[in-house]
Amino acid sequence: MPAKPALADSGPICDLIAENAALTDMPPDFFARLIWKESRFDSQAVSPVGARGIAQFMPYTAAERGLEDPFDPVEAIRHSALYLQDLRRELGSWGLAAAAYNGGINRVKRWMVSGGRLPYETEDYVLSITAHPASWFRQEQREAEVRPLDAGLSFDEACRNLPVMATRAIFALAESAPMQPWGAQVAGHVNEAVAVRMYRRLQDVHPAILGGVEPIVMRARPASGPRRIVAVRIGAQTRGEADAFCRRFRADGGACVVLRN
């Protein structure tokens, strides 16, 4: 059972991430993305497969690494940084370390030797954190570039803008946010579950902009084609507000279109 209450504020978590990233020569933005991808900074997170705590250690990995309480964020983040450092030393890059953190080092080693594909979850994980597919890191000496959480803010400010979200918010489909007159559409698909997964992935790629933002999920007819889709939009009271959001999202590398809801 969890031994400590969950932290409600991301500030102490960001301090731990920065401190341990510095100790292991890891880019803090990379580490913050990885931890937020794992647990949304929820120190009491438990995944459907049994991974525990803010760094989502499986029980056997925690025991192997000497982590006694995965629900203690101080210890979990320290052990996570040291584990990633060891993985990087063995595999050669932070990108491959992330792949092994998610998919297991033996699987990644086999993939590096024999090729093929990693599981979709691992491919998505690496792409979300590094903006590169895992295969990009197979070429020797390729490393994850410095990629700020928010190009307009310091790491400390941007990290503190990431919300702490309860575990259930990670694994459950979101209900739609209240309807507003305008929307900035960032994802869409004929299948609702796929559309919401697309949005969750965008949250991982653009945490400083979409972290903690619950979208409007609605059926809409696209400009081309008769078939309705499930649109995922960020609500706005005015077109100007929606345009401003899209400009910021595009500046961060996202795609966005403003539509009346």
Span 188-221, pLDDT tens digits: 988 877 888 889 889 888 988 998 788 988 888 7
Q: What is the pTM of this model?
A: 0.71
Looking only at the bridges linking them, the beta strands covering 182-189 and 229-236 are antiparallel
Q: Is 44 helix (H, G, I), strand (E, B) or coil?
A: coil
Q: Which residue has the tokens 């937020």?
A: 36
**Residue burial 38-59, b: 16+ Cβ < 10 Å; e: rest:** bbbbbbbbbeeeebbbbbbbee
- Band of pLDDT at residue 245, cut at 50, 70 and 90: very high
Report the alpha-carbon distance of residue 53 to residue 201 in Å, rounded.
21
**Burial zone of 62 (CB within 10 Å; 0-12 exposed, 13-18 middle, 19+ buried):** buried
Q: How many CB atoms lie within 10 A of CB 259?
A: 15
pLDDT tens digit string along 118-139? Answer: 888 899 899 989 999 999 998 8
**Burial zone of 6 (CB within 10 Å; 0-12 exposed, 13-18 middle, 19+ buried):** middle
pLDDT tens digit string along 138-172? Answer: 887 789 888 899 988 999 999 999 989 876 544 44
Question: CB–CB of 231/182 below 8 Å?
Answer: no
Q: What is the mean pLDDT of the chain?
A: 88
Domains detected in the chain: 10-138 (1.10.530.10), 173-260 (3.30.70.1070)
Task: Give the total residue count for the chain.
Answer: 261
Report the alpha-carbon distance of residue 43 to residue 40 in Å, rounded.
9
- The contacts of residue 9 (CB under 8 Å, 6+ apart) are 164
Residue 88 φ then ψ, to 5°: -65, -40
